[in-house]
Structure 1
Amino acid sequence: MEEQRTPAAPTWGGPSRWRQGPPGWDRWNEQGHGARWPWRSTLLLTVFVFVGSGFAAHAQHGDRLALDPFSRALLLVGSGLLLWRQRHPVFVVFGTAAVALTYVAAGYPYGPVFLPVAVACFSAVLAGHRRAAWTAVGLLWAGHLLVAHWLYRRLPPAGDHPTSWTQEIAIATWVVAVVALSELVRVRREQWSRERAERAQAARRRADEERLRIARELHDVLAHSISVINVQAGVGLALLDSDPEQARTALTTIKAASKEALGEVRQVLDTLRAPGEAPRAPAPGLDRLPELVEQAASAGLTVEIEGEAPPSAPGTDLAAFRIVQEALTNVVRHSGSRRARVRFAYEHGVLWLRIDDDGPATGAEAGGSGNGLAGMRERAAALGGTIEAGPRDDGGFRVLAVLPWKAKEDNR
């Protein structure tokens, strides 16, 4: 069967939305496409700015100008610009900075007028316009320095005095804090995105490996069984008229082989229908080697077994069984020899598994997929072992597998 990696990945209920970032986090994107209008947050912030500015005007009465229609218009424009912060973050961050600087230069009281600038800066940084955000906030601070220390004599209110440097340091600290918080959230957001991509990639990789394993299992099961069926069908057709009893025996072998293949295919497919559940039947291992020898004999191949492998973990035992199965299948398909030798040697935690036939190669089209040797190498590599396969000098063919093999009694 053709071994193809499929990139789909069933997961346990899908990744949690909270693990991808806070709810609504996907609305933040560089261009703001598809972003909703942030009506509620903008309205709440506008109310807060108006109420806070009212308290600030009361507290700074006599030092700064009282609020008038123009000041309220500036507050409304500065807060209202935030409606476009997700769609046009650069325009909004410069616009709110200009409005705040105009408000302060006009002599109105200090207060939450700078809050829209902080929100706009935050949005611009998250949208990827970091330099624009830094520039806008830096120009606002520089403009405030110019107004508070050089232009205050020409600007309202009358009799104003320069701002203390302690207040300037506080404003500079506020600017740095806003930018630092924006950068911190941006970095954290990028980490969330990177982690989400890594989780998705890991899920795809696990799905690829699982489907490759299933494809390998199906190939090994079907290739062996169909080879036996193919040989016996040829025998039955040849003897149908001259030796009906032998033809009946061939058909009986075909029935048994197809039944066993269907059972193993059903076992493999059950893992797809009910992922995570234990298999209903144990995976085959070297304890079923006599059955494999009997099936090979029904296909006209005599198999000699030398040595014995100690018991091992199910996954390792299955790999060894499938390697022997595929090697014998290839002998049936491609070799003119009707005799094969399987030799086991275990030493220092390593199993040496060798399958030989005396050839010669038939050169006939056997109808296989050409993935048998690749599947054996993948099974060995998954365990940290190796596979060598190729013709011998005397015309035969050899498959040599070297597998790490830790016996069960050593795992206690």
Structure 2
Amino acid sequence: MDERRVRGRGGPVRWWRHGPPWPGRRADGEPAGRWPWRSTVLLAAFVLIGSGFAAHGQQDGRVALDPFARVLLVVAAGLLLWRHRRPVPVVFGTAAVTAVYLAAGHPYGPVLLTVAVACFAAVVAGHRRAAWTALGMLGAVQLLVAHWLYRWLPPSGDGPASLAQETVAATWIAVVVAVSELARVRREQWARERAERAQAARRRADEERLRIARELHDVLAHSLSVINVQAGVGLALLDSDPAQARTALTTIKSASKEALGEVRQVLDTLRAPGDAPRAPAPGLDRLPELVEQAARAGLTVEVTGRPPRLPPGTDLAAFRVVQEALTNVVRHSGSRHARVHLEQAGGVLRLTIDDDGPAVGTDAGGSGNGLAGMRERAAALGGTIEAGPRDDGGFRVLAVLPSAPGPER
């Protein structure tokens, strides 16, 4: 299927040159992929019957309908059966047959409708030049017949066309041009709107997929890191210090339970999109829980500053940033001490998470999915994330999140 690019507000989009701007239908309402038998037969019947009435009204100045004229009428209407599959040959064919019909001196009438329909189909299909060329050729033939060739063509004794006849012909051409162009513009508008809606739907789906991926990563990375550390502690102390090993197993149970709850919440959102979540999204009010979980993993966290009251989206992003940063300290830093500083001023929340290092492991430089997810969260809110090693060998994560100032908790 041929395609043509149309530039909309959101950039280049595509629309179908020989197809419908909506699924399953052409511009005239016929089902896509089918021959337009019904409309063609109805149009042929209208042309034949209407031409018969027109012949009765033009008996004095035009040649009566004969078998040859009726064959021309049927051929002109029958060509429209291919107007969607071969619009260019059809528009030239109907124009040629109509020109022969008029040159033979037969009555004016509905035969001109076949040219109008063929021209409309060609313009809507994107073949404007072919449509206007065919229409111009028919107009030129009409002018030649009406002002010069009428001396040698039937009916005998015919004179040149009057001003009224030329005005009617010019008006008919103008109407065909206007209607065809209006249909083309409207179809392109439908195509742009449909492409923009599809693009917006894909964008929303991508954003939702990224959001779910970030949520799952943050939940699982944090909880599994705690479980991994505590499992190592439990195995090491199982024989020498059973009490401490029991504490490690208790921490594993608590962390796994919390992780299962948050994963279940994300999966419930997938199963029933649009439903309200069963549990509120976590925020900085759960910062003490993060500190306690980090302590169970052997990490001491010092918090300075009081968590401010934030909008839900910013509150969740701030919580996930602290959670991911502390998880990275547990996994990739040799330090057992971290500092979290919160500061809100001028509608901006600054979150700083520091550890004293040294870095351990291959992912300690901050190039993993966790930091990428934090940056995506911040960017979605109009904020920024800076992460990297300090000059003294430690590591720092600085998050700047825009937020409306509000009373402290």
TM (normalized to structure 2)?
A: 0.91
1:390 and 1:399 in contact (8 A); partners too: yes
Secondary structure at the aligned position of 1:401 is classed as: strand
**Which residue does 1:11 correspond to in 2?**
none
**Which residue does 1:128 correspond to in 2?**
126
**Which residue does 1:339 correspond to in 2?**
337
What is the deviation of 1:243? Answer: 1.3
What is the deviation of 1:329? Answer: 0.5
Secondary structure at the aligned position of 2:151 is classed as: coil
**Which residue does 1:263 correspond to in 2?**
261
Higher relative contact order (CA 8 A, sep 6+): 1
User: Matches of residues 301-316 of structure 1 in structure 2 within 5 Å?
Assistant: 301-316=299-314
Structure 2 residue runs of 5 or longer lacking an equivalent are 1-19
**Which residue does 1:24 correspond to in 2?**
25
What per-residue deviation string (whole Å, max 9, x for no partner) do you get for residues 229-261 of structure 1?
A: 010000011011111221111111101100100
Secondary structure at the aligned position of 1:25 is classed as: coil
**Which residue does 1:41 correspond to in 2?**
39
What is the deviation of 1:282? Answer: 0.2
Secondary structure at the aligned position of 1:152 is classed as: helix
**Which residue does 2:230 correspond to in 1?**
232
What is the deviation of 1:51? Answer: 1.2
Supply the distance in 1 between the matched residues of 2:62 and 2:391 (Cα, whole angstroms). Answer: 103
Structure 1 residue runs of 5 or longer lacking an equivalent are 1-18
Identity value in percent: 77
What per-residue deviation string (whole Å, max 9, x for no partner) do you get for residues 116-162 of structure 1?
A: 11111111112222111111110101101101110111111111111
What per-residue deviation string (whole Å, max 9, x for no partner) do you get for residues 295-351 of structure 1?
A: 000000011111112111111111111111111111101111111111111112111
TM (normalized to structure 1)?
A: 0.90
Go from structure 1 to structure 2 and tell me whether the alpha carbon gap of 1:61 and 1:193 turns closer, same or farther (over 3 Å shift): same
What is the deviation of 1:365? Answer: 6.7
Supply the distance in 2 between the matched residues of 1:26 and 1:106 (Cα, whole angstroms). Answer: 34
2:357 and 2:393 in contact (8 A); partners too: yes
1:350 and 1:404 in contact (8 A); partners too: yes
Q: 2:201 aligns with which of 203, 206, 209?
A: 203
1:227 and 1:332 in contact (8 A); partners too: yes
What is the deviation of 1:35? Answer: 3.0
Go from structure 1 to structure 2 and tell me whether the alpha carbon gap of 1:145 and 1:365 turns closer, same or farther (over 3 Å shift): closer
User: Matches of residues 243-258 of structure 1 in structure 2 within 5 Å?
Assistant: 243-258=241-256
Supply the distance in 2 between the matched residues of 1:262 and 1:365 (Cα, whole angstroms). Answer: 26
Give, as a single letter, the amino acid of the residue that structure 2 aligns with 1:198: E
What is the deviation of 1:364? Answer: 5.9
What is the deviation of 1:358? Answer: 1.0
Supply the distance in 1 between the matched residues of 2:109 and 2:43 (Cα, whole angstroms). Answer: 13
**Which residue does 2:5 correspond to in 1?**
none
Give, as a single letter, the amino acid of the residue that structure 1 aligns with 2:273: P
* Moved beyond 3 Å, runs of 4+: 19-23, 26-29, 363-366, 407-410
What is the deviation of 1:28? Answer: 9.3
Go from structure 1 to structure 2 and tell me whether the alpha carbon gap of 1:208 and 1:280 turns closer, same or farther (over 3 Å shift): same
Secondary structure at the aligned position of 1:83 is classed as: helix
Supply the distance in 2 between the matched residues of 1:375 and 1:285 (Cα, whole angstroms). Answer: 17
1:27 and 1:36 in contact (8 A); partners too: no
**Which residue does 2:188 correspond to in 1?**
190
What is the deviation of 1:89? Answer: 1.3
* Pair 1:165-2:166 in alignment: no
**Which residue does 2:114 correspond to in 1?**
116
Give, as a single letter, the amino acid of the residue that structure 1 aligns with 2:291: V
